[in-house]
Chains A and B, each alone.
Chain A
Amino acid sequence: RKEVEQDPGPFNVPEGATVAFNCTYSNSASQSFFWYRQDCRKEPKLLMSVYSSGNEDGRFTAQLNRASQYISLLIRDSKLSDSATYLCAVIGPMDSNYQLIWGAGTKLIIKP
């Protein structure tokens, strides 16, 4: 089982719609959680951190569910410019250390 799993998609969503996707993590000792955005053939960039109390930034809302071991990202009123791959990243134990462990990403396509 992968440490961090995401539905690869693609999610095809009409402009203006709301879309949500999840990221599950396998190790309950995982500590911090992030969503990064990666445009096609570009580098990842931090979208938002995910706090225990949830986090909202404009149209984007991130939630953490420790009991079920997943984080979620909700995008409201989606724009064409939201088309990208969304990577989740989790700080979790790896060997004898903690490292940032990445999901493979969920591809989102916003259609006009």
Chain B
Amino acid sequence: NAGVTQTPKFRVLKTGQSMTLLCAQDMNHEYMYWYRQDPGMGLRLIHYSVGEGTTAKGEVPDGYNVSRLKKQNFLLGLESAAPSQTSVYFCASSQLGWVAEQFFGPGTRLTVL
């Protein structure tokens, strides 16, 4: 089992460009999450999904959109990248929601110039 995978691993964007980060999990988990991690701050939840076809906003959703068309995939989109979105993005999944262990992908390091 690959667990949780993320593509790409690194990306550099110019301000105003768009991109999509892909997260895939092979554990048949219902819940999936997108976080960003910045120095000196905890992981902050961007969006999450409690099942195929459903998404919900987290703590810092502005500037991001998500889609969960298939149970195993959770996409994070940046429509018009800004330097404030420079961060490390982690995707995670869990079987039973918040109380269950979250399994993380290796992260995507995004720099917006």
Interface on A for B, CB 8 Å cutoff?
2, 4, 8, 31-32, 42-46, 87, 89, 91, 94, 97-105
Contacts of A104 in B (CB 8 A): 40-42
Contacts of B106 in A (CB 8 A): 42-43
Contact across chains for A32 and B98 when beta carbons are under 8 A apart: yes
Interface on B for A, CB 8 Å cutoff?
35, 40-45, 48, 56, 58-59, 90, 98-99, 101-102, 104-107
What would 12 A/B residue contacts be, using CB atoms closer than 8 Å? Answer: A2-B42, A31-B99, A42-B106, A42-B107, A43-B104, A44-B43, A44-B104, A98-B98, A99-B98, A100-B45, A100-B102, A102-B44
For chains A and B in complex, what number of residue pairs have CB atoms within 8 angstroms? 46
| Cα(A31)–Cα(B105), bound, Å | 25
Q: A43-B90, A44-B102 are in contact. List 6 more A-B contacts (CB 8 A).
A: A46-B102, A91-B99, A99-B58, A99-B59, A100-B45, A104-B42
- Chain A binding surface SS class: strand
Find A43's partner among B42, B58, B105 (CB 8 Å cutoff): B105
* Chain A: minimal CB distance from B36 (Å): 11
* Most interface-central of A89, A102, A105 (chain B CB within 10 A): A102
Contacts of A98 in B (CB 8 A): 98
Contacts of A4 in B (CB 8 A): 42
| Cα(A88)–Cα(B35), bound, Å | 15
* Chain B: minimal CB distance from A76 (Å): 23
Contact across chains for A101 and B42 when beta carbons are under 8 A apart: yes
* Chain B: minimal CB distance from A46 (Å): 5
Contacts of B101 in A (CB 8 A): 46
